[in-house]
Amino acid sequence: MTNFLPKSIRTLIEEFSRLPGVGPKSAQRLAMHLLRSPRDKIESLGQAVTGLKDDIVFCETCWNIAEKNPCYVCDNPSRDKSLICVVEEILDAVAIEKMGEFSGVYHVLHGRLSPVDGIGPDQLKIVELVKRIENGSKDDGEFSEGKSYKINEVILATNPSLEGEATALYIQKALIGFDVKVTRIARGLPVGGDVEYADEITLMRAMKGRGDF
């Protein structure tokens, strides 16, 4: 960028354009928008950004981000500790939570197996998951809130991509031998999807996962 704009604006545009999904044009528009905004609005945005990491910790049970450890889901007596939903990313758990139907707890892997990118089991929270299941599949179960819980079911809710499938398969194998039921989320055609245009894997899973009408 030329020196036509003042340095402070150029720096801001540069920072914005590093954000995911923000191109150079959007970065310029955002910076100009802020320049026109009242000072107190800009200051509250600045405080939200600088304070982002201050009050955030990882829950050492489910590895979601939280204000305290354990997080409010793991610490909630009304959540079903016997049911663990395994997801790739925090935002996957957010999406499931928004649905309002899931009463169990989560385990966030923080990624998926991807040999091409050098992501192996050690880079993900898989060891932690296996340990959690190991402790929780015994009769006296996982210890939380001063009580113990027997883990009955692990739902593998990784994405239906090649990496997501490989990750689910790896975890399923790692959990063989524990007294716990391992299930995989059903997949099928999306609403508005067309049988004609669906790929083979989606169609196959839709057929396999068919239910009573």
The site for Zn ion (CB under 5 A) is made up of 59, 61-62, 71, 74
| Minimal distance, residue 15 CB to Zn ion, in Å | 32
Element (H, E) at 24: helix 24-36
Helices 7-17 and 24-36 pack at an angle, to 10 degrees, of: 130
Reduce the secondary structure of 169-189 to three states and give it as a string.
HHHHHHCCCCCCEEEECCCCC
| Minimal distance, residue 85 CB to Zn ion, in Å | 12
| Minimal distance, residue 63 CB to Zn ion, in Å | 7
| Minimal distance, residue 61 CB to Zn ion, in Å | 4
Strands (E), 2-95: 57-58, 65-66, 83-87
Cβ closest to Zn ion, residue 62 vs residue 109: 62
Cβ closest to Zn ion, residue 67 vs residue 117: 67
Cβ closest to Zn ion, residue 62 vs residue 182: 62
Cβ closest to Zn ion, residue 104 vs residue 165: 104
Cβ closest to Zn ion, residue 58 vs residue 178: 58
| Minimal distance, residue 100 CB to Zn ion, in Å | 18
Angle at Cα 158 formed by Cα 152 and Cα 162, nearest 5°? Answer: 135
Q: Which two tokens stand for residue 75?
A: 């610490």
CA distances, 183 to each of 12, 112, 190, 207 (Å): 47, 17, 20, 17
What is residue 143's DSSP assignment? Answer: E
Q: Do residues 182 and 154 make contact, with C-beta atoms less than 8 angstroms apart?
A: yes
| Minimal distance, residue 125 CB to Zn ion, in Å | 11
d(Cα 14, Cα 185) in Å, to the nearest integer?
41
Cβ closest to Zn ion, residue 45 vs residue 65: 65
